[in-house]
A and B are shown apart, each in its own frame.
Chain A
């Protein structure tokens, strides 16, 4: 499995309710593709954000998003460097 990042830009800023709706729309499309969401991060002004996934590859995540009609700016595979000490992980 690969570590995948999905990046977003929102203009106007996205609402939390819209995020919740997208979460719901994505659920079946990601689950059938064995894509697991790890974490999501959104700026306080809700103008940008990213989500971290574990997925077969970036294209799988892209397809899931397109199938669910959830917009994104880019999707890319990444290496994760975690600088926290093991006891803090």
Chain B
């Protein structure tokens, strides 16, 4: 018996680089990564594993995996099987790690977690935290073993989460001891350098310790990291902390506030909301200054309709452009007139005619939901709600509306803010209205940021065109002077030092008011931008209102209460109360149709309160809420595309671009449609084939249907191939439709025909009935024209197989009749054509009815049934009268004469001759050739050779014009027979030789073939 070896302590560390310690001394691990990975896997899972499983995990390849496993186990045993303990337990099928008292770090921390961190002593927490030397199995990234790698990554994430939980618990327990919490806070930052909450915590702790210098360093470090790694600025919360830091001493004071409520500098006194005078960043205080501009406004209103139609107000942001336009509205109202206001939207939103729709919406409120139908129908509708059939009518409708409104209350002012964001459709409409409404008491007033106009080509073109035509008066607003600024600021903030405000703001009214508010609220630091002042002001709001403003800021400069309620999930009454308070703070302004931010800079400030990840989530929520809600006009689709793009939801953004683009087409906003198509295609690029291909087809359709000259056939061909590969037959057919539109526009009829044949083939998977109908139509077309007869025959056979021979499809019956006629089966042809005639009459298809009657008449003529011919002819004349311009009346006349010929009447030739000019004038060469060939046959039978020759020659000439091969053959046969009668066999052979084989595709009709055979027999017999 072997004496037992002394027990030795074994410790296995997997948190960080794998280590095995024997009696506290690190042992040399096998160099093989797979061997170390096997150790980590067996120890971490702690249960028996099948050898096959281990082989799949780490040795899945051409080499002998079992040998690899055996080798690794051989290397691990000496390391782990110590002191008589068998820790690597293996048999033929299974392998397991048995701890036998070995200390394993992951097991220890997991056990602590399972027993509950809240109950664990602080020492145990600290000990557990200390075990985390690094990520689980650090350095063992076996990318060649995907299954192991996936497992390892999952374990790392779970253990990191545990590490975070331990640190957070320790920090919580260290409440009141900021120094103790510093280490864990820094450890949290090390785990996720980009996460914001640990950084805020660190700032709070350092602030609590009074160590302003290190706090500022921590802030700077994080701000640099954000800019470098994500390209974003620090969030509002971080900025707030930083501002509070500026009031701290540089050295720590040892103060120890409670965790979770770090004591910042006392909150500044919140300023009372200014008195409401219609609110607004620049308004609400009465109109100040701008005497020269106000005089101009008055003059323009007095001569509205006689002078320039457009007032353009230019200036930098915050200079008072919108306020001046509001004053214009007030002056118009004072003169008994009216003002309508609208605003253009940021370029990303692509809302064609957005400013006009905005302005007119206020004038045309939607009827109440429960309104009686007749009231709803009678309620005035904006022209953009029920668009016209073309752009001209739309423009006319808007002009009439405005002229009418001006007629009721003059002058009418249409205010259009932010011209630098005008879309092309709006620019063209404004140009049209400025010209069309000259003479009406209407004044258009637009504002624009001069520097940003250069980025908008349509707006630039508009301004230049208006200038050339003498339709615009421009005014550029400069800064207020000291006296004016004193009056502006003093009205709402009488106690602030207005000289300081003037110095800081340089006369910019918005800046001045924000600075005054800040000073009034106790802030001393006015250094920095207007944006910073606004951010500070927003920081003084209650949390709930600040949060609400973030949502509103994401929605845009203007928003509807309903939409805001939908995206936030807040109840409308609660929402309205908050919005009213925000209005009292001059952050929002109410309008007839919703709310506006007092200024776009205020909106931007509200938006930037959120960190980037939060912004993405908010946009995602908005996109989902808008796309799920009602949108009868499709006006929200562009907004959905915008928010989905910002949320990173490419699929939703691409789909919304399709809807928004289709709306632009309906409103004749071609450029906007194409812009959305381009955007949508970029979003669609990242999607899977199954999602991307259908979207790309619809996005290209926006280009095709907006008549863009771009080369689109190549991408369409590629899409057809993709659609076919995906088995999307209906989509493939749609692509061929778009291609045939392009090809036909380009005059390429052959390509268009190929595309349409491809469309028939593409319908093969659309469903048997649909495919059969396509095939029957194509068959009818080919057989009617005697061209591509073999193709027509194939299509017919396939159509019959799919639809059934007796199907009640008109095209099928017609194609069957044509085919039977070509084959010479007159009885069957007549049966089929009777069926087709019945279907045509039932479906009230007049052209089809005419064609059926015509063919039935020819059939009955060939069968010698003159009475039936006359009956068909009479019916044909009746229907032809209702058809409009056609050759059927002339054809009916010719047939009537031919029917009379059947009876042997010589006079009928005169009647027949009299019918020919009408056929000739109608340019109906095929009918001419058919009719004259029949007449030639009759004449031949009656030995009226000269008459027969004349008819045959004219028939040949007419048939050659339209390449009617059967009539060519018939005419040649007649002329050859006449040649034989004149004992000129060579001439006869020469005529027959003109029937060269390559001239015929699919053979002659039975009738024509019989005519040729007859004269060939004559030739053979006689010569």
Contacts and interface: CB of A to CB of B under 8 A. Distances in A.
Interface of A: 2, 4, 12-17, 20, 23-24, 26-38, 44-46, 56-60, 62-63, 66-67, 72-77
17 contacts: A4-B923, A13-B393, A16-B390, A16-B668, A17-B705, A20-B705, A28-B755, A30-B752, A31-B744, A31-B752, A32-B781, A37-B744, A45-B390, A56-B963, A59-B923, A59-B927, A67-B781
Contacts of A37: 744, 747, 749
Contacts of B787: 32-33
A63 to B, nearest CB: 8
B389 A12 contact: yes
B396 to A, nearest CB: 10
Interface string B717-743: 000000000000000000001101101
A38 B749 contact: no
Given A34-B749, A34-B963, A24 B927 contact: no
A28 B792 CA distance: 14
Contacts of A46: 389-390, 392
A31 B886 CA distance: 21
A74 B963 CA distance: 23
B389 A28 contact: no
A31 B925 CA distance: 18
Contact of A58 (B389, B668, B741, B923): B923
A34 B753 CA distance: 10
A17 B705 CA distance: 7
A66 B923 contact: no
B922 interface: yes
Instruction: Specify the main secondary structure of chain B where it touches its partner.
Output: helix
Given A16-B707, A27-B756, A67-B781, A59 B744 contact: no
Nearest to B845: A69
B741 A23 contact: yes
B747 A38 contact: yes
Given A12-B389, A20-B704, A23-B741, A58 B752 contact: no
Nearest to A1: B961
Nearest to B924: A59
Contacts of B621: none
A37 B742 CA distance: 12
A57 B924 contact: yes
A36 B752 CA distance: 10
A62 B886 contact: yes
A67 B961 CA distance: 20
Contacts of A13: 389-390, 393
A58 B922 contact: yes
Contacts of A31: 744, 749-753, 756
Contact of B925 (A30, A36, A57, A73): A57
Contact of A28 (B665, B753, B884, B925): B753
A71 to B, nearest CB: 8
Contact of A27 (B743, B788, B884): B743
Interface string B935-949: 000000000000000
Closest 10 CB pairs of A and B: A58-B923, A28-B756, A31-B753, A27-B752, A59-B924, A31-B749, A56-B962, A66-B847, A27-B740, A27-B744
A87 B787 CA distance: 39
Given A62-B887, A74-B885, 19 more contacts: A13-B389, A15-B390, A16-B668, A24-B737, A27-B743, A27-B753, A28-B752, A28-B755, A30-B744, A32-B781, A32-B785, A36-B749, A46-B390, A46-B392, A59-B924, A60-B925, A62-B886, A66-B847, A73-B884
A13 to B, nearest CB: 6
Of the listed residues A12, A28, A58, A62, the one surrounded by the most CB atoms of chain B closer than 10 A to its CB is A28
